[in-house]
Amino acid sequence: MTTDTDVEAVPSPEGPADIIETDYQIGQDNITPKIGPFGLDIHNPVFLVSGLVVIAFVLLTIIFQDSAGPAFDGMRKFLTSNLDWFFLSAGNIFVLVCIACIVLPIGSVRLGGRDATPDYSYLGWFSMLFAAGMGIGLMFFGVSEPISHYSSSVAEGAGSPDSWAPLAGAAGDPDEARRLGMAATIFHWGLHPWAVYAIVALGLALFSFNKGLPLTIRSLFYPIFGERVWGWPGHVIDILAVFATLFGLATSLGLGAQQANAGLDFVFGVPNTVDVQVILIIAITAVALISVLRGLDGGVKVLSEINMVVAAALLLFVMFAGGIMSVLSGFVSNLVAYGEELIPLSSPVGRDDDNFRQGWTSFYWAWWISWSPFVGMFIARVSRGRTVREFMIAVLLVPTIVSVLWMTAFGGTAISLIEEAGMTQIADAALELKLFEMLSGLPLAAITSFIGVVLVIVFFVTSSDSGSLVIDTITAGGKVNAPVSQRVFWCTFEGLVAIALLLGGGLGALQAAAVSTGFPFAVILLLACYALFKGLYSEPRGKAAAAA
């Protein structure tokens, strides 16, 4: 489509591809103001509307802190209580679409054109997938979620309307409570979240690398809106994507700050207060800014690979310290339990576990959906050269297996410490402290707890800087090399939104932000599934198809 701006967009397809002919020029709606020494290159409606709303949100939330908390909490409860069926149904549809992409002939379509080759090795590719996708979440919930489901399932009264146990619980039966708790945990970190990411990532990669459209969310909807996608229908989609990304990231950054503070308190006695968490966000955002200035290859990729090595080392330590045979046998049994409970846990109707379904699953699905523009675009940018089948297997199945191993090692070890060593303080601790209480039951607790804090902080940094790259691309009209000052703006405001939410309601406000932005974007993603199939079926598939 474009020629003079291609260097600022994405590489042209290599080999046969179904290029979409359009008169739209990447960046044609952009304005290029200059503020002092800083030049900007921003999409006029998307950047201005997004930027002004975010600035207003930060100011109003900080000014009206006392009333913001109850308002956020009420909004979260309303959405998860009334729309839980919608979130669960949408999640199931995304999984089915991904499986269809693996088994249907469209799986042979190669992203970037039939002759494209991968930009990154498997090691670099997987490292960036994990660091951007679930790093902070796995650290925060790796112990706290299995323990929470186990405790609620085994407790007296599990299965009653007041219980938080999944399905009917397993009152008084520790073995069944462990099985059910691990299955419910893996359900939240397995196929469903990665299917959400995969839909967005595959759509962005297809319509950018193969069809020559800008690397921005609106490009997925060209089969539906045609040329109108460059007008206000597309503006609205991109603005919603910016909000979803920003508030989804802020949720994770807020959780990361709470856990880093809890870890510093556990190891060094640093006070566990909101003030300290705000200081942490400011300090870590400053580090993220340095990473942003170094760019994708110099900043995000290097930090991601370092963090994956450290995370793998901590995982191996917990596996061996917690009993390698116990972890490996637990991995198999948990995988089986996940398969057995997958359909009951996925069902949006005929269940009595309202607290679990609405408070856990609906929140998670909204959170994953709100993260999908960010993670999806990031995965798309590093996945050029892969076939659709290879892409789906890697993005959908491999992270699920690793998540099962992670949850088994950390969560399973924590449950064993409670059952066998009587460490009930793990279950009694606050969510952000459970990881460090579990590590205190293993050798070298001071060292591993310190490593845990470092991992949380670095995952914090990689999420912040890679999120800034994604939002910057959306608000620059699809340009991937816009001026660095714009990324600095978004990186700064990610930190400010997280601070505003912490001051304006803490964890409840963070969850409300994720849920409220996830809902409208879930509707958009369902439409994207149709556009994705339409785009894939128009592509040449494999060498035989190209020769024909």
Domains and CATH numbers, the chain: 30-538 (1.20.1740.10)
- Other CB atoms within 10 Å distance of the CB of residue 113: 23
CA distance 80 to 85: 9
Q: Among residues 65, 29, 35, which one has the least CA distance to residue 47?
A: 29
pTM (predicted TM-score): 0.87
Q: How many helices (H) and strands (E) does the chain have?
A: 23, 4
CA distance 302 to 309: 11
pLDDT in tens, 126-164: 766 665 556 677 888 889 999 999 999 999 888 888 899
According to DSSP, the residues that pair with 43 across neighbouring strands are: 30
Q: At what angle do helices 506-537 and 232-268 cross, to 10 degrees?
A: 130
Burial of 174 (0-12, 13-18, 19+ CB in 10 A): middle
What is the DSSP-derived secondary structure letter of residue 230?
Answer: G
CA distance 421 to 468: 44
Burial of 271 (0-12, 13-18, 19+ CB in 10 A): exposed
Backbone angles phi, psi at 31, to 5 degrees: -120, 155
DSSP 3-state assignment of 369? helix
Residue with tokens 């996830």: 518
DSSP 3-state assignment of 39? strand
pLDDT value, residue 376: 86
C-alpha torsion angle, residues 325, 331, 337, 339 (rounded to 10): -150
pLDDT value, residue 7: 39
pLDDT in tens, 305-321: 787 788 889 999 999 99
pLDDT value, residue 300: 66
pLDDT value, residue 305: 74
What are the pLDDT tens digits along the chain (548 aa)?
333 333 345 677 787 777 888 877 777 888 888 777 777 888 888 989 998 988 888 888 888 877 777 777 788 788 888 889 999 999 999 999 999 999 999 999 999 888 888 888 887 777 666 655 566 778 888 899 999 999 999 998 888 888 999 998 899 999 999 999 999 999 999 999 999 999 999 999 999 899 988 888 899 999 999 999 999 999 999 998 888 888 878 877 887 888 888 888 888 888 988 889 889 888 888 888 887 777 656 566 677 778 778 888 999 999 999 899 999 999 999 999 999 999 999 999 888 899 999 889 998 898 888 888 878 887 887 888 899 999 999 888 888 888 899 999 999 999 999 999 889 999 998 888 899 999 999 999 999 998 988 888 888 787 777 778 888 888 888 777 778 888 888 888 888 888 888 887 666 777 777 777 788 889 999 999 999 999 999 887 655 444 43
pLDDT value, residue 132: 56
pLDDT value, residue 297: 60
